[in-house]
Structure 1
Amino acid sequence: MYKMMVSDLDETLLNDDGTINPKNVTAIQAAVAAGFKFVPNTGRSFKSVQPLLKQLALYNCPAQYVISYNGAAIVENRNNQVISTRGLDFTLAQQILAAGLIDSTIDAHIYTVDELYIYNISPSDQAYMAERGVTYTLLTQPDIAFLADADIMKVIFETSDDDLRLAIKAAVCAQVGDQVEVTFSSQRYVEFNKKGTNKGQAASDLAQQLGFTLTDVIAIGDNSNDIAMIKAAGLGVAVANAIPAVKAVADHITHLTNNEGAVAEVLTEYVLSNQ
């Protein structure tokens, strides 16, 4: 019997407009009431997940968790206690930021363990952040010297141009080599974490802390930053709207999209039906 689900948020658990399908809420609450662990596993900050946790009745709950920043932080919901982090070296973060700004249309996000800073935010990204209730501080210059002593989780770049995202990846990797883990998300972001940091590694670390094995874990997602956790889990699930690369590595593909309650579909079939 599965004991934990790690779930991506945007385009997986959440509807396209950032809301959550009521079917997902009902299924998650029923599973958690029976002792199941439901763990958002997201590229976002754990702070931005708090309204969602309130909807799911997981807010400030002991022994329930959030994995943030593509696996760079594991946080217990009670008092937002940070359990572990896998941050970027400051010099590496600086190099990534400088190398990735290859075009004046690109904006950059720098995440510390508890803050988000954005340089050159685009109108579309501003709307995306507002829709999801994400708070941030704007930078007027691409200078992060003031974060020299901070715990930097990841650096990401936003553009809706597919070719430009690939060019950013190439430019950064040419500068820093294999020191980074590179993923894509939401058809708009290219993301850089410390090498070895990903949603799959974090899911494995959390499962081990809880005394579970990966065979006890369901992972569900839609985009390339979800591949590591889908491959690692005992049951790796791609939602119906997932990109082809995710569907190719999944054990199961849902009939429903993110807008139709795909997470509820999986919980109903693999968790709630066994209770």
Structure 2
Amino acid sequence: MKYKLLAIDMDGTFLDKEHMPTKGNIEYVHKAAEAGVKVVVCSGRIPAALKLILKDMPKNQPVIAGNGSIVYDHNSRELYYGALERDALIEIINIMRRDFNNVYYHFYDGDIVCSERFDKIIADFYYKLNSTMPKEFGVEIRIIPDSIYYIDKYNPKVAKVEIFEEDLNLLQSIRDRLEMLPGIEIVSSGFNGIEITNKGLNKGNALEFLVNHYGYSLDECIAVGNDENDVEMIKKAGLGIAVRNAKDCVKEVANYITEKDNDNDAVAEVIKKFILNK
């Protein structure tokens, strides 16, 4: 099979434990692009949080962001932006306030991270990210006094909500409660987070949308990932691949599991084996 598109998850797949791309992965995604394969960054991150990564990736390639809520073509033209319905967003916030008041969450107004408090999550990721990179690669953080007031006043296009909690039993209780709501989709994110988008918006459906846009078939696609939010695209792709460090739920649906993990050029292994055939 000659593959035409390679969809790659970022955190835990293409990026190492320091959230940076390995040299081998960078080298081989360029080789894949030179061979005529579309190399698609397919991330749970919002577009602004991908800018530093994209500067070293092959140019003029499509992007899937926000767990499939946002799709760009190879010219950085927005093909799709799926915002959460306002009523669902308000209900999520009300449930968090009423039943899980001490649990941290934030949402994204486009590329702006919106939160009612400056929490360790923002400090350890976004604030640290902003403090260690050039300004043009930073992400705007907006601490707001009242999320519902903000939504009513500004009518933001919210691609997703993220909730983080170290107590995994409590996190599961939150997920169980929110899954009773209609019209939303929930996936785990890393070890202690869940991410919420509109129903039907996931990396798998975004991949299918992009494939149809370019006139390819899903059989001509490779998808590589490590976390629950990668499961749908791995199931849809003609060749679905889990990296060695992937969660069991990903390995269970994959056609191939890499010998290497995300710290040791797992994506380069995929490109060598299935695209360059070396």
Considering the TM-score relative to the shorter chain, is it more than 0.5? yes
Aligned-residue RMSD, C-alpha: 1.8
The structure-2 alpha-carbon separation of the partners of 1:34 and 1:245, relative to structure 1 and needing over 3 Å to count, comes to same
1:97 maps to which residue? 93
Secondary structure at the residue paired with 2:219? helix
Q: How does 1:21-40 map to 2 (within 5 A)?
A: 21-40=22-41
Q: Which amino acid aligns with 2:199?
A: K
1:243 maps to which residue? 247
Tell me if 1:82 matches 2:88.
no
The structure-2 alpha-carbon separation of the partners of 1:149 and 1:124, relative to structure 1 and needing over 3 Å to count, comes to closer
Tell me if 1:232 matches 2:228.
no
The structure-2 alpha-carbon separation of the partners of 1:172 and 1:56, relative to structure 1 and needing over 3 Å to count, comes to same
Tell me if 1:156 matches 2:156.
no
Instruction: Tell me, in whole angstroms, the C-alpha distance in 2 between the residues paired with 1:201 and 1:40.
Output: 15
Q: Which amino acid aligns with 2:55?
A: K
Tell me if 1:137 matches 2:134.
no
Which stretch has the larger CA shift, 92-101 or 231-240? 92-101
Secondary structure at the residue paired with 1:47? helix
1:255 maps to which residue? 259
Match of 2:64 among 44, 51, 67: 67
- 2:39–2:58 Cα contact (<8 Å) kept: no
1:15 maps to which residue? 16
The alpha-carbon deviation at position 185 of structure 1 amounts to 1.0
Instruction: Tell me, in whole angstroms, the C-alpha distance in 2 between the residues paired with 1:41 and 1:188.
Output: 21
Secondary structure at the residue paired with 1:27? helix
Which stretch has the larger CA shift, 46-55 or 257-266? 46-55
- 2:228–2:250 Cα contact (<8 Å) kept: yes
Superposed structure 1 runs of 4+ greater than 4 Å apart: 131-134
Secondary structure at the residue paired with 1:236? strand
Residue deviations 1:32-65 (CA, integer Å, cap 9, x gap): 112111111111111221111111242xx2xx11
Q: How does 1:264-275 map to 2 (within 5 A)?
A: 264-273=268-277
The structure-2 alpha-carbon separation of the partners of 1:57 and 1:131, relative to structure 1 and needing over 3 Å to count, comes to farther
Instruction: Tell me, in whole angstroms, the C-alpha distance in 2 between the residues paired with 1:40 and 1:123.
Output: 27
Calculate the TM-score normalised by the size of structure 1.
0.90
Secondary structure at the residue paired with 2:271? helix
Instruction: Indicate the percent of aligned positions where both proteins have the same amino acid.
Output: 27
1:116 maps to which residue? 113
Instruction: Tell me, in whole angstroms, the C-alpha distance in 2 between the residues paired with 1:140 and 1:259.
Output: 39
Instruction: Tell me, in whole angstroms, the C-alpha distance in 1 between the residues paired with 2:9 and 2:36.
Output: 20
Residue deviations 1:9-36 (CA, integer Å, cap 9, x gap): 1111101111110000000001111211
Instruction: Tell me, in whole angstroms, the C-alpha distance in 2 between the residues paired with 1:139 and 1:119.
Output: 5
The alpha-carbon deviation at position 82 of structure 1 amounts to 1.1
Instruction: Tell me, in whole angstroms, the C-alpha distance in 2 between the residues paired with 1:198 and 1:173.
Output: 15
The structure-2 alpha-carbon separation of the partners of 1:11 and 1:131, relative to structure 1 and needing over 3 Å to count, comes to farther
